[in-house]
Amino acid sequence: MMNLYPTKKFRFPITAECISPDVFQDKKIEEIRRLTVWEGNKQRILGELFKVKESESETKMVVINIHGDVSRVRRIGAYMTSGQIVIYGNAGMHLGEEMEGGEIIVRGNVGCWAGSMMKGGKIEIYGNAGNYLGAPYRGVNKGMRGGEIVVHGNVGNEAGAYMRRGVIKVYGNAGQFAGLRMQNGTIYVQKDCEARVGACMKDGKIIVSGFLESVLPTFTIEGLKEKVKIENDETAEGPFYLFLGDTAEDGKGKLYVSKTKNPHLNRYEKLL
């Protein structure tokens, strides 16, 4: 098990995609210290920015523990396929970008683009996540293609944009445009959600258990449902209004919105 301790409070953006179990695997501690990272426009070695310590581990899996604030460190766990990263502090942008397997646990907040274009594995965030959770890089239309992201706090805008498969569970609030242009997969928001949910969605499922600011005019009411499955044996208790959309894209996505938390949507009942 490798333990990383930041040697200072970082001022400049640090690009450190080498902090990944795949890179650390089979490397001696000295080799890990010599891995290349960038601090702003200056190239450094990992040992300059982090104190690296090895400790006993019960598992054979590569585990990396980061102790301290790494909110300016970007691309931690990018492209990882196995192992585990545990961050005891806040983490920076592009955490677990394009990861294919393994697990990342963050005991703090995370910047934007966490789990961007993720293909597999699991990210669990105990604090809040920024904008574009699981969403792709600018101009790319392939979002999350598998895996699971669980956020115990709130998320920013465009969570799960362009999603194709996988699950995002948010136990706090979500910003606007959750599930924008999604094609498949599931997004669950336990608390409140800002407007434009499911904008331009083609297919897939979005469940909002809390208050939803408004439903886009391009969604049509389909019915009422008592209970909705999130994944495996996890369900969300309703009753829920079921909307279909987005008709602006001839979409057939399902948007479930809590009936009890959203009395302003009562007007749709006359159409049922």
Partner 1 sequence: MRTVKHVTCPVCGCLCDDLELTIKDEKVVKVKNGCALCKAKFLGYSKHRVLKPLVRKNGRFFEVSYEEAVSRAAEILTEANYPLLYGWSMTSCEAVSAGIELAEEIGGVIDTTSTLCHGPSTLGIQDVGISSATLGQVRHRADLIVYWGSNPLIAHPRHMERYTIFRKGRFQKEKRKLIVVDVRKTETAETADIFLQIKPNMDYEVLQALRALIRDQELDVDEVAGIPTERLEEIADTMVECRFGALFFGSGLTMTRGKNRNIDAVLSLVSDLNKLTKFIAMPMRGHFNVTGADMILTWQTGYPYAVDFSLGYPRYNPGETSAVDILLREESDAALVVASDPVASLPRKAAEHLAENPLIVVDPHMSATARMADVVLPSTFVGIESGGTAYRMDHVPLPLKKIVEPPEGILSDEEILRIILSEVKRKKAEQMENP
Contact residues toward partner 1 (CB under 8 A) are 11-13, 15, 38-42, 72, 74, 93, 112-113, 131-132, 137-139, 141, 176-177, 180, 196, 199-200, 214, 216-221, 246-250, 268, 271
Closer to partner 1 by CB, 29 or 272: give it. Answer: 272
> Which of 78, 75, 69, 71 is CA-nearest to residue 101?
78
Q: What is the 3-state secondary structure (H, E, C) of 10-33?
A: CCCCEECCCCCHHHHCCCCHHHHH
Closer to partner 1 by CB, 22 or 246: give it. Answer: 246
Count CA within 13 A, CB hemisphere, residue 139: 0
Q: How far is the CB of 199 from partner 1 (least distance, A)?
A: 7
Q: How far is the CB of 191 from partner 1 (least distance, A)?
A: 21
Closer to partner 1 by CB, 18 or 62: give it. Answer: 18
Closer to partner 1 by CB, 7 or 141: give it. Answer: 141
Closer to partner 1 by CB, 102 or 111: give it. Answer: 111
Q: How far is the CB of 245 from partner 1 (least distance, A)?
A: 9
Q: How far is the CB of 12 from partner 1 (least distance, A)?
A: 5
Q: How far is the CB of 107 from partner 1 (least distance, A)?
A: 22
Question: ∠ at Cα 227 (225, 233), nearest 5°?
Answer: 150
Report DSSP letters for 185-197, one per residue: -EEEESS-B-S-T
Question: ∠ at Cα 196 (191, 200), nearest 5°?
Answer: 125
Q: Which two tokens stand for residue 89?
A: 């502090």
- Pairing state between β 220-231 and 234-245: antiparallel
Instruction: For tokens 């396929």, name the residue.
Output: 81
